[in-house]
C-alpha cells in the first residue's frame, strides 16, 4: 500500500538544505522554491528559532537561512522537515560570499542580521560581518524598498555599525516598530532573559 500523498510529499532534511550545484554562479530563486513569493534572508541563522518560526507563520513568503556551522545547519534542516516547511531552504555558506556571489540582484525583500559575532578585540574587528563590502553586497540583492534589519546586544558593535551605515550610500534609516510581532532569535531570547538591552536598526534600500 502506498503512503498517502501528505506523507510521501513531506520534505526531508536533505530537501531543506540547499547545496548549490556551483558556487561560481548566482542562483535563480525559481530553482530554490516552487513559487516566486517574496524572499527573506536570515544571515547567520544559528539554531534557527527565528527563521523557523517566521517560515511557519508566513507560508506566503520564502525564506533562505545561511549559516557556516554544519551542526547548526543540520539541526535547522531537521526541525524544518519535521514542521513540513516547504518555504525554507538552508545554505551552509559564508554570509558575505552568499550575498555577493550567490544571491541574484534585486531578489530579496527583507534580510536579517541578528546578533552577529561581536569580535570585541580590536585586532579581530576586521572579522565583523557588518563592513562596507557586506552592506554593498546585501543592498545589491535587495529589491527597491527592501530592508536590511540589524540587531545586536553589543553596544560597541552597534556603534561600529552606525559609522559604517553613515558612510554607506543608498539607504534610509527606518524605525523598527513591528518588533512585538516578530519571533525571538535564540540569542535574543537569552539576552532578554538576562535583561540586556537590544540595539537595532532598519536600513531601507533607496535609489
Ligand atoms: C551569535 S550567533 C547568532 C545566531 C542567530 N542569528 C541568533 O540570533 O540566535 C552568530 C551565528 O552566525 C554564524 N556565523 C558567524 N559568522 C558567519 C559567516 N561569516 N557566515 C555564515 N555564518 C556565520 C555563527 O556560526 C553563528 O551561528
* Nearest protein Cα to ligand 1, atom 20: 94
Q: Are 102 and 41 in contact (CB under 8 A)?
A: no
Closest CA to 24 of 131, 100, 108: 100
Catalytic residue positions?
Answer: 117
pLDDT above 70 coverage of the chain, percent:
96
The terminus-to-terminus CA distance of the chain in angstroms comes to: 58
pLDDT above 90 coverage of the chain, percent:
85
Inform me whether the pLDDT recorded for 8 exceeds 80.
Answer: no
Inform me whether the pLDDT recorded for 40 exceeds 70.
Answer: yes
Residue 140 alpha carbon to ligand 1 centre in Å: 21
Kindly indicate the confidence band of residue 23, based on its pLDDT and cuts at 50, 70 and 90.
confident
Q: Residue 172 and residue 145: Cα distance in Å, rounded? A: 9
Please give the torsion angle defined by the CA atoms of residues 86, 68, 151 and 191, in that order, rounded to the nearest 10 degrees. 100
Closest CA to 149 of 113, 184, 177: 113
* Nearest protein Cα to ligand 1, atom 4: 46
| CATH homologous superfamily for the domain 5-205 | Vaccinia Virus protein VP39 (3.40.50.150)
Residue 173 alpha carbon to ligand 1 centre in Å: 24
Q: Which atom of ligand 1 is the closest one to the Cα of 112?
A: 6
C-alpha cell read off for 136: 554593498
Backbone angles phi, psi at 59, to 5 degrees: -65, -15
Domains in the chain: boundaries: 5-205
The pTM assigned to this predicted structure is 0.95
Inform me whether the pLDDT recorded for 7 exceeds 60.
Answer: no
Spell out where the chain has E strands. 39-43, 62-66, 88-91, 108-114, 142-152, 171-174, 199-205
Q: Kindly list the protein residues whose Cβ atom lies closer than 6 A to any atom of ligand 1.
A: 44-46, 66-69, 72, 94-95, 114-117, 129, 185-188
* Nearest protein Cα to ligand 1, atom 27: 46
pLDDT at 145: 98
Residue 24 alpha carbon to ligand 1 centre in Å: 23
Q: Residue 92 and residue 68: Cα distance in Å, rounded? A: 5
Q: Tell me the mean pLDDT in the region 7-14.
A: 82
Q: How many residues does the chain have?
A: 207
Q: Which atom of ligand 1 is the closest one to the Cα of 72?
A: 27
Residue 114 alpha carbon to ligand 1 centre in Å: 8
Amino acid at each position: 500500500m502506498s503512503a498517502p500523498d501528505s506523507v510521501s510529499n513531506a520534505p526531508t532534511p536533505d530537501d531543506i538544505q540547499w547545496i548549490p550545484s556551483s558556487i561560481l554562479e548566482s542562483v535563480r530563486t525559481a530553482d530554490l522554491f516552487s513559487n516566486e513569493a517574496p524572499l527573506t534572508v536570515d544571515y547567520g541563522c544559528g539554531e534557527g528559532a527565528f527563521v523557523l518560526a517566521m517560515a511557519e507563520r508566513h507560508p506566503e513568503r520564502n525564506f533562505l537561512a545561511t549559516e557556516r556551522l554544519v551542526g547548526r545547519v543540520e539541526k535547522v534542516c531537521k526541525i524544518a522537515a519535521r514542521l513540513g516547511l516547504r518555504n525554507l531552504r538552508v545554505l551552509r555558506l559564508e554570509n558575505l560570499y552568499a550575498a555577493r556571489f550567490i544571491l541574484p540582484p534585486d531578489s530579496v525583500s527583507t534580510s536579517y542580521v541578528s546578533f552577529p559575532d561581536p569580535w570585541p578585540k580590536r585586532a579581530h574587528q576586521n572579522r565583523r560581518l557588518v563592513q562596507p563590502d557586506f552592506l554593498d553586497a546585501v543592498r545589491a540583492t535587495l529589491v527597491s524598498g527592501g530592508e536590511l534589519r540589524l540587531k545586536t546586544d553589543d553596544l560597541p558593535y552597534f556603534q561600529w555599525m552606525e559609522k559604517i551605515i553613515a558612510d554607506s550610500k543608498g539607504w534610509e534609516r527606518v524605525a523598527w516598530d513591528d518588533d512585538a510581532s516578530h519571533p525571538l532569535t535564540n540569542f535574543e531570547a537569552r539576552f532578554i532573559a538576562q535583561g540586556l538591552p537590544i540595539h537595532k536598526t532598519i536600513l531601507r534600500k533607496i535609489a
